[in-house]
Structure 1
Amino acid sequence: MPPTTLSTKQSEALHECLISLGSNIDPDHYVAQAVDIISRECNLLARSKTIRTRPVGYQQQPDFLNAALLVCTPLEREAFRAYLKGVEDRLGRVRGAIKSGPRTMDLDIVAWDGEVVDDGYYLHDYVKKPVDEVLASSGRSLEPQKCS
């Protein structure tokens, strides 16, 4: 079962993670809840302002609120991804038949230890704009995704 909360005793090494978050079901409430949970359970280094964006893909749904967070975590990447999915579940995320459909919360790892790991950063302004704001405010930069 994936971890639902973080423990600082799980690893000695700390990793920096840039997270993209989005919500279009009661988004003001769920974005605030996600930021609250993550800031209590992780070391929150920086956050962007929220931006309102039109849906991508499935159009018959409300606009989204999107933002980005920079956190420090002792977890390895896959364990942290599982943690984020657990936060989504705690916030009532229902994964329906329409992958790009409405959701209370969507949390995705965009960059790990300064390296882009999600093409969404290059493809979608709703990811890129908040992430770039966090980078500028924190004095960080990103390395492009490495070829596998």
Structure 2
Amino acid sequence: MPPIPLTNEQAAALHECLISLGSNIDPDHYFGQALRIISHECDLLARSEAIRTAPVGYQQQPDFLNAAMLVSTPLEREAFRAYLKEVENRLGRVRGVIKSGPRTMDLDMVAWDGEVVDEGYYHYDYVRMPVDEVLASSGRTLNDKKTS
């Protein structure tokens, strides 16, 4: 069955979200799973290559793979944030006492409709580099509150 085209009203109601992905438990497997799930359930507009990074915070764990993706969704911001947590759960995410500890998948909203919503973008290369790659490849820009 071919996709049903969106009406102009439905298309106007779509939001764009830049997502940061991170995994250090079987990351190749979980990156593939996250990409499959999100691209099936959202409209994948762009994605970065994965980069390998050393852990931040808790050091007694494997290196991470980090990447970013840009998607569009009809969900509102808080509903989409809850959706990302639900995807993490589906991918076996266990939230332990060590917040920066190992994980199968971490999905964080970095920007919503062009507005930065995660200060990590300004502080961590493992967030900024993949996001900037997605911005460059998609022709998008962010409303940078740090310079306004």
SS in 2 for 1:89: helix
Structure 2 spans left out of the alignment, 5+ residues: 1-5
Distance 2:136 2:144 in 1: 17
CA shift, 1:145, in A, is 3.9
Distance 1:95 1:133 in 2: 29
TM-score (normalizing by structure 1): 0.90
CA shift, 1:136, in A, is 0.2
Assess if the C-alpha contact under 8 Å between 1:47 and 1:67 holds in 2.
yes
Match of 1:116 in 2: 116
Which one has the largest radius of gyration? 2
SS in 2 for 1:142: coil
Match of 1:80 in 2: 80
Structure 1 spans left out of the alignment, 5+ residues: 1-7
Provide Cα deviations, 1:101-131, integer angstroms capped at 9, x if missing partner.
0000000000000010100000100000000
Q: Aligned residues: percent identity?
A: 80
SS in 2 for 1:69: strand
Distance 1:124 1:138 in 2: 21
Matches within 5 A, 1:3-42: 12=10, 13-42=13-42
Provide Cα deviations, 1:44-96, integer angstroms capped at 9, x if missing partner.
00000000000000000000000000000000000000000000000000000
Match of 2:89 in 1: 89
Match of 2:64 in 1: 64
Distance 1:137 1:97 in 2: 37
Distance 1:58 1:65 in 2: 16
- Residue type matched to 2:83 in 1? Y
Distance 2:145 2:104 in 1: 29
- Residue type matched to 2:15 in 1? H
Distance 2:52 2:115 in 1: 26
TM-score (normalizing by structure 2): 0.90
Distance 1:76 1:115 in 2: 14
Match of 2:3 in 1: none
CA RMSD of aligned residues (A): 1.4
Report the number of matched residues.
Answer: 137
| 2:129 is the counterpart of 1:129 | yes
CA shift, 1:144, in A, is 2.1
